[in-house]
């Protein structure tokens, strides 16, 4: 299937590593020019150099999505360097914690405030800055990377931030959809990235098992029997970024390998 992405222009936040990098790389492989955004210049430059192997433009832009002025400047620069903007993938967020979840007594205001500032408001700032470019041309795609904690009650902070992203996505989709701009949210589960070995080691120590046993326990949390990779999540996002995805707007797409024992309809 031709995704009709060749020549499109994308901004990917959180693009220096993990799912964000995998998305930037997958888009470039489909012919998209990409602006990769993150806070650390060195890792960002390395990521952009790797993405450029596909023969498309890969621009490294340092910005903190918690700063609205920085976001607006980043988007202007991306539009100038790429000649416009068609796609935004919001993936700049603190990774879900693998440590113990604090109980109500131990939970502070800042535990939640920092997550909403970084993930919810960071995504909103980027969407607000890119939307005028998309509306002017009558076409665009915004994909927000959230997480399956939106469908679980195991973490108050994780659930609230991800549910909030899904709610924001639906609201933006309703406003922008009639103008040719589709907005969707993708919920990965625990995904194989460069962080995975550390997550497995922490789990093994906490549970008093070997790392092999810890990995097997994590694999069993999916209905495909293994953890999904960042590249496999990126495949889903790449489709949503394409004109082929016009039938999907405002919806949440799970990309975590399937959750045992539940039905979502």
Q: Report the CATH number that the domain containing residue 42 is assigned in CATH.
A: 3.40.50.720
Q: Are 121 and 165 in contact (CB under 8 A)?
A: no
The 10s digit of each residue's pLDDT in 96-138 is 654 567 788 988 999 899 889 999 999 999 999 999 999 999 9
Q: Are 13 and 91 in contact (CB under 8 A)?
A: yes
Q: Is residue 97 part of a domain?
A: yes
Q: Are 123 and 168 in contact (CB under 8 A)?
A: yes
Q: What is the mean pLDDT of the chain?
A: 95
Supply 119's token pair.
């993930």
153 pLDDT higher than 90 = no
Q: Is residue 195 part of a domain?
A: no
Q: How far apart are CA 112 and CA 174, in angstroms?
A: 27
Q: Is residue 81 part of a domain?
A: yes
Q: How far apart are CA 142 and CA 88, in angstroms?
A: 5
Domain that holds residue 235: 9-190+227-255
Q: Is residue 180 part of a domain?
A: yes
Residue 210, SS3 per DSSP: coil
State the total domains in the chain: 1
pLDDT band at 214 (very low <50, low <70, confident <90, very high): very high
Per-residue pLDDT, 164: 96
Number of helices (H), then strands (E), in the chain: 9, 9
Segment 236-241 mean pLDDT: 98
Provide the H-helix boundaries in 34-148.
41-51, 68-82, 109-115, 121-137
Q: Are 235 and 170 in contact (CB under 8 A)?
A: no
Per-residue pLDDT, 154: 80
State the Cα angle at 95 between 248 and 114, rounded to 5°.
100
Q: Are 258 and 18 in contact (CB under 8 A)?
A: no
Q: How far apart are CA 251 and CA 98, in angstroms?
A: 27
Per-residue pLDDT, 15: 97
Residue 181, SS3 per DSSP: strand
Q: Is residue 14 part of a domain?
A: yes
Per-residue pLDDT, 95: 75
Contacts of 144 (CB under 8 A, 6+ apart): 90, 123, 127, 165, 168, 169, 183, 184, 185, 186
- Tracing tokens 């995704």 back to the chain, one arrives at 3
CA 68 to mean position of chain CA atoms: 19
**CA dihedral for 171, 173, 178, 179, sign (positive or negative):** positive
């Amino acid at each position: 299937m031709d995704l009709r992405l060749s020549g499109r222009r994308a901004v990917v936040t959180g693009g220096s590593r993990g799912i964000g990098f995998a998305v930037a790389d997958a888009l470039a492989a489909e012919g998209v020019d990409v602006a990769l955004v993150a806070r650390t210049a060195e890792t960002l430059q390395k990521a952009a150099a790797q993405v450029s192997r596909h023969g498309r433009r890969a621009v490294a832009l340092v910005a903190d999505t918690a700063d609205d002025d920085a976001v607006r400047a980043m988007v202007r620069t991306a539009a100038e360097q790429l000649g416009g903007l068609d796609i935004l993938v919001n993936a700049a967020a603190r990774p879900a914690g693998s440590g113990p979840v604090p109980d109500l007594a131990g939970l502070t205001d800042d535990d939640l405030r920092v997550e909403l500032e970084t993930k919810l408001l960071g995504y909103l700032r980027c969407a607000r800055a890119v939307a005028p470019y998309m509306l002017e041309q009558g076409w665009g795609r915004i994909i927000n990377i959230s997480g399956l904690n939106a469908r679980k009650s195991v973490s108050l902070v994780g659930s609230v931030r991800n549910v909030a992203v899904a709610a924001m996505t639906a609201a933006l989709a309703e406003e922008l959809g009639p103008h040719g701009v589709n907005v969707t949210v993708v919920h990965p589960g625990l995904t194989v990235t460069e962080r995975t070995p550390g997550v497995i080691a922490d789990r093994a120590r906490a549970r008093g098992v070997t790392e092999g046993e810890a990995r097997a326990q994590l694999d069993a949390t999916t209905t495909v029997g293994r953890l999904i990779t960042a590249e496999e999540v990126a495949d889903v996002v790449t489709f949503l970024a394409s004109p082929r995805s016009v039938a999907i707007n405002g919806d949440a797409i799970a990309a975590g390998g399937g959750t045992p024992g539940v039905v979502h309809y």
